[in-house]
Structure 1
Amino acid sequence: MANPEQVNQTVLMEFILLGFGNLPELQTLLFLLFLAIYIATVAGNVLIFVLVVADQHLHTPIYFFLGNMSCLETCCSSNVLPRVLAGLLTLDRTISFSGCLTQYYFFGSLVATECLLLSVMSYDRYLAICNPLHYAARMSGRACIQLAGGSWIGGFLCIGILTLLISSLTFCGPNIIDHFFCNFIPLVKLSCNDPHLMETLAFILLLLFSLVPFLFILMSYIFIITTILRIPSTTGRQKAFSTCSSHLIVVSIYYATLLIVYMFPTTYILSDFKKVLSVSFAILTPLFNALINSLIKRSRRP
């Protein structure tokens, strides 16, 4: 007879993403809706990226970072939506353990990278408006590459640590993830290990890679708005504000959903609400960002 402890410690090899399984009558409608969103998101972000690369007039720091954002949003959508579409089309919601970890790694890394890139873009706007005489020197081509590269490397290293720790956990209980993609909180909750250490470490990294950049962005815009209000002419104030309005809208939408989904405690009442916000965060935000970023006016060197 098998040892009960050995039975209880059977390692799970796959998970079931519950997704939108509780809405069977809407599967076809959701598939068509998400397919349209995916096509529009990829097309919009790829178009922005191609324009930034091809047009010599757009070879400025703000558009360099915007091209990075477009690339990032395309990768983020491509990491989540194809799996969601496949599940809606085939009704097969299983995903392997390694596939689940891979999806979480790339999604989490891209989210962390975006937080850092948004803070870098706010720094660019701060220099352009508040310190124009030093803008060209501080935002040289080399500095832009270092700032963007540091954002990508930092984001992927941060989530790489969490992914390695998750891979060391033991999953021996239920294998149903009440989500439409593999994310940190649903994964850790299925672990047989004590989740407190993992949750504490994740909270610390979340503070470093989301809250700290958010506070940096907030401080940057306090200085930016203060400087804009000191401009004597109405036309000058409108022109200065137009250079950062699109970025401010993107930051507001992005962090509003991010902080609610990851910073607020998950309760029974908030679980479904967070799931809806996760759809907005992972699926709709890349599309909104592409639409909003396309409205950014050509940046002019001070």
Structure 2
Amino acid sequence: MVKEKKAKTRKKVSYAKWGYIFLIPFFATYTIFSLIPLISTFYNSLFENYRSGLTQIGPNFVGLQNYISIFQSDLLKYFGNTMILWIIGFVPQIIVSLILAVWFADFRMRLKGSTFFKTIIYMPNVIMAASFAMLIFALFSDDGPMNNLLIKAGLSDGPIRFLATVWGTRGLIGLMNFMMWFGNTTILLMAAIMGVDASLFEAASIDGAKSFQIFTKVTMPIIRPIFIYVLVTSMIGGLQMFDVPQVLTNAKGTPDRTSMTLIMFLNNHLYSKNYGMAGALSVILFFITAVLSMFVFIMLTSSGNKKGGRN
């Protein structure tokens, strides 16, 4: 009996260690490509390191002087530009995506060709942003097709300089961000809605709830985690906005730097090889992103818990 017990214990395999072994590639990749560069960026932000003509200045330790210089610049203006451009694109994006997600996920409507439309609305997401920006630039230029159409339709006496006005440029950037990402947002929200138990919708309908009441009282509370995920990731993407305004405004943020984003400001320091200032701005952007993401997450989750407690 003792020998049989020993044989059984020997045959037992400890699977706990395999979990840690499978996690090694992730942590190794994260350490090499994320953690070490993050620490290196923070370290380099404490040094004066730039090129003046053919002369390399530094690296010289300057402490927090780079951060002071960044805050004395137009950082707040560029942060405001970035948030405005994100909001202009995100608000219509989330509204349209919610409507489409509800329609596509509602089996009672029996929409024909839904697979085709899902493919069509997702296609702009796979187009390179630079190519899309060049297309919009050509369409809305002074002698482009859009101006020709407005003039021939009698809606304008002359060409409208969309890219020469503040809100014209911001509107086009917001339009591009909306068109590029609303398909991806629709797919995410639709997947969340399809994961809701259909019996909940049927029970609400039997109780006399109308479509809008079902959406606000049943659908939205259940898909709140996915909605928070979409909001936070979209905000992070908005703070990292670069390629669309960079191409559309020829890297100048025209007119009068009202379309200059934080990443465009960072790119200017990298282009001029001012690595100390670029590192300081990167660290500031990291903390801004972290603080805003945590704020949005806490606000939405706490409001959801309060509503859940009242019910």
Same fold (TM over 0.5): no
State the structure with more CA Rg. 2
